[in-house]
Structure 1
């Protein structure tokens, strides 16, 4: 798979670190509205050309566009790439509005190209080991889950945090994809949601970089809670906050009739999976039994290159999660339960797979 990367901001560094470890993926071109950032991304990478966005989308060598633009541009860039006959793989969220995401999927289906969506962290050993434990019946029948993300705000460390505090940002659309992609991977799709949300401040102060001390407006909710009703009947409770300071909660907990599972941070690829069995006296750390080992951002592209239309970090999954998130925000605004119209198959489990693509177990 020959990839052209559009958007060379902060997150691109993590993708660049992964490319050399992906046996079936080759980065061939980069583009950014700030050409200097694109040149920095290509520096020292043999065969990687610096192009304009228009040139990259039209380039015959590029078969897949990796879209790392800001959320508000995800759908627009994807649609342009699809119109040029390219596969697309987008950073999260898949789009800003559910309607935009649907247009991307419709265009891709008509053009016969693939769509992928971050986060691919769910393909790592953390979430996939938890998936194997659940599928093996270790915790019995799943009943409920909690997903908790608490931080005082990205403006404390990000030099250009504006997009986090406008529609398409906020804690739910920014960080929610990690947690909800994991919940759907572990427990299946969602059929309805309820929610509540608040906004603590109307502006934030940038804490680092050349704009340190500058204030930016906040036009989206910064603390969101919700309940996801999975098709299986499991109830997942979300707390996503850019207002609170800290928490002692596990990032994700899955409660079953025979035990509770502590799932590691879904913003990471690895981490300990811990089990407290019914009748047990303490938590026990479980061995790694699933997922891509030593994975980094971009493993979803490798999965796309190998599996084609059966890719796990699919656009369909990204779209379902986008509708769930926007449903929670709609429920918070209306005070009503919102039914989710889309559904998606649980992505196939990832057997324990070495960095070179060799299946270790499963």
Structure 2
């Protein structure tokens, strides 16, 4: 689009604060309107941002000054809010996942294609210097031929810190659907799309106890697997091993490691934009930290939106990428249920790299 873009936010919960901080420092984006089921949350944002109105969702989507709807609702509402925005002729950028099912996500992409609008989706953490520096090393041949990767996320569960953790344990939640997009989007960015998967899952408890906030002590039913493991076969032939857990205490494993026949990489937490990338060559005595070589240097949540509406049209955090990641996650869960390997029906282009210090 190339001009300053008007943004309307639907959903003013916890994650919105990070986006609001980013919008303040990106001149290409202008916040115009906000909406939330809890109108007081929307009014609190409007009252601290000049020229911003607190309105209903329908009014926000129909507002002439809003060019793109930033969808920060809970996962179960992602598709319906996106479809409403698209029907109003707006571009949409949303929090992950794109929808809770590939069927619903496909409806969003088809509607956007028909309407001629763009769809983007978090995570955009892969656009920061951490994952992008690792990608540059792989692309430059610094690890030789990629062979395998590991991705590990272990935590005892979000109910320990989140005051309203219910959706983490309902359909569309769990460690894979919640945190998996960060790791899987990073793996696809680093190594390309996934062709097939083998998965297994379990859950240790039928309910969780809220540990903080006004609902502390309340019990939340668990309706999803809370520990999921899998092997991903990338189209390139690389094998990635994935562990996502809300059951265990902690891990000392690197968030992501990538192994080639000439060297190995340690990739920083894909839930963050930055962090050191470690490299150890065959025969080397020690790991060394690679210099930052690619990515948005000062990135924060919302850079994927700025990238989507930018003049270069790269659109790296695309709906197609998010759809493929969702398809991989659904395939892993289906494999866990059936005990069979599952072919991933979709594919996507490996996103374009981000040059160092490119301005969104």
Q: How many residues align?
A: 356
CA drift at 1:48: 1.0
What's the counterpart of residue 46 of structure 2? Answer: 42
CA drift at 1:23: 2.0
Equivalent of residue 349 in structure 1, options 335, 353, 356 = 353
Q: How does 1:245-256 map to 2 (within 5 A)?
A: 245-256=249-260
Describe the SS at the equivalent of 1:328: helix
Gaps of at least 5 residues in structure 2 are none
What's the counterpart of residue 20 of structure 2? Answer: 16
1:161 aligns with 2:161: no
TM, length-normalised to structure 1: 0.97
What's the counterpart of residue 131 of structure 1? Answer: 135
Q: How does 1:10-159 map to 2 (within 5 A)?
A: 10-159=14-163
What's the counterpart of residue 324 of structure 2? Answer: 320
Describe the SS at the equivalent of 2:171: coil
1:261 aligns with 2:275: no
CA distance in 2, matches of 1:169, 1:63: 30
- Higher mean alpha-carbon deviation, 38-47 vs 234-243, is at 38-47
Describe the SS at the equivalent of 1:133: helix
Describe the SS at the equivalent of 1:116: strand
Gaps of at least 5 residues in structure 1 are none
CA distance in 2, matches of 1:40, 1:320: 36
CA drift at 1:21: 1.4
CA drift at 1:307: 4.5
Contact 1:114–1:309 (8 Å) recurs in 2 = no
Describe the SS at the equivalent of 2:309: helix
CA RMSD of aligned residues (A): 1.0
Q: Using a 3 Å threshold, how does the CA distance of structure 1 residues 147 and 209 change in structure 2: closer, same or farther?
A: same
What's the counterpart of residue 300 of structure 2? Answer: 296
CA drift at 1:330: 0.4
CA distance in 2, matches of 1:290, 1:114: 25
CA distance in 2, matches of 1:41, 1:272: 34
Q: Deviations over 1:165-195 (max 9, x none)?
A: 0110100000000000000000000111110
CA drift at 1:305: 1.6
CA distance in 1, matches of 2:237, 2:27: 40
CA drift at 1:6: 0.1
Q: How does 1:167-182 map to 2 (within 5 A)?
A: 167-182=171-186
Q: Deviations over 1:322-353 (max 9, x none)?
A: 00001000000011111111111110000001
1:219 aligns with 2:223: yes
CA drift at 1:308: 6.5
Contact 1:114–1:308 (8 Å) recurs in 2 = no
CA drift at 1:40: 1.4
What's the counterpart of residue 282 of structure 1? Answer: 286
CA drift at 1:76: 0.7
Describe the SS at the equivalent of 2:97: coil
CA distance in 1, matches of 2:184, 2:50: 37
Q: Deviations over 1:267-293 (max 9, x none)?
A: 000000000111011111110000001
User: Which 4+ runs in 1 deviate beyond 4 A?
Assistant: none
